């Protein structure tokens, strides 16, 4: 089997993946949403909470917080729900809920953030909430791309962002 060695930084790899997902899904995202999606993928590459923590409880916990802690927790819930709904729908099904359940939780988290933030950040989180279904559609299309098929939550969680580029076998 041939091997592919890549020296591309993770951000570039995920940007390419998201752009391919946009094309495949026929869901063009504006630069802000595209960048947010790319950096969400990079940020949660090794997120152990993604597979472990009940998001509804995390949402409730975030809603009970104040200030920066509230913002941080709600953003994490929105981001994680976005990834589960779009990129890891099998995780939702293993938990006996639909990916739409996670989409609803994530949209609500972003809505709460939009209501609590200053103007520029409020606009971002409102845009994320409104575009949630399109973002999920793009992630689903990314998941369906041949290069993304081998990805699973365990593979993503095991990768170390500080390691040098790896050889990938096809």
Q: Specify the pLDDT at position 48.
A: 84
Q: State mean pLDDT over 82-101.
A: 93
Per-chain mean pLDDT for the chain: 83
pLDDT at 7 over 70: no
Q: Specify the pLDDT at position 118.
A: 81
Distance separating alpha carbons of residues 124 and 33, to the nearest angstrom: 8
Q: Specify the pLDDT at position 134.
A: 97
Q: Give the domain extent around 84.
A: 3-169
Band of the pLDDT at 144, cuts 50, 70, 90?
confident
pTM above 0.95, yes or no: no
pLDDT digits (tens, 9 = 90+) for 44-53: 878 888 878 8
pLDDT at 24 over 90: yes
Q: Specify the pLDDT at position 19.
A: 96
Q: What total number of domains does the chain contain? A: 1
Q: Specify the pLDDT at position 64.
A: 96
């Amino acid at each position: 089997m041939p091997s592919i060695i890549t020296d591309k930084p993770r951000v570039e790899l995920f940007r390419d993946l998201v752009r391919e997902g946009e094309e495949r899904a026929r869901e063009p995202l504006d630069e802000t949403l595209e960048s947010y999606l790319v950096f969400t993928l990079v940020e949660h590459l090794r997120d152990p909470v993604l597979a472990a923590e009940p998001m509804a409880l995390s949402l409730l916990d975030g809603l009970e917080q104040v200030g920066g802690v509230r913002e941080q927790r709600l953003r994490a819930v929105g981001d994680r729900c976005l990834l589960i709904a779009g990129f890891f729908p099998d995780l939702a099904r293993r938990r006996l809920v639909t990916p739409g359940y996670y989409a609803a939780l994530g949209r609500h988290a972003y809505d709460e953030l939009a209501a609590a933030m200053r103007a520029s950040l409020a606009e971002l989180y409102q845009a994320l909430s409104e575009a949630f279904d399109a973002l999920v559609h793009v992630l689903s299309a990314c998941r369906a791309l041949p290069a993304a098929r081998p990805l699973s939550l365990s593979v993503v969680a095991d990768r170390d962002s500080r390691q040098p580029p790896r050889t990938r076998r096809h």
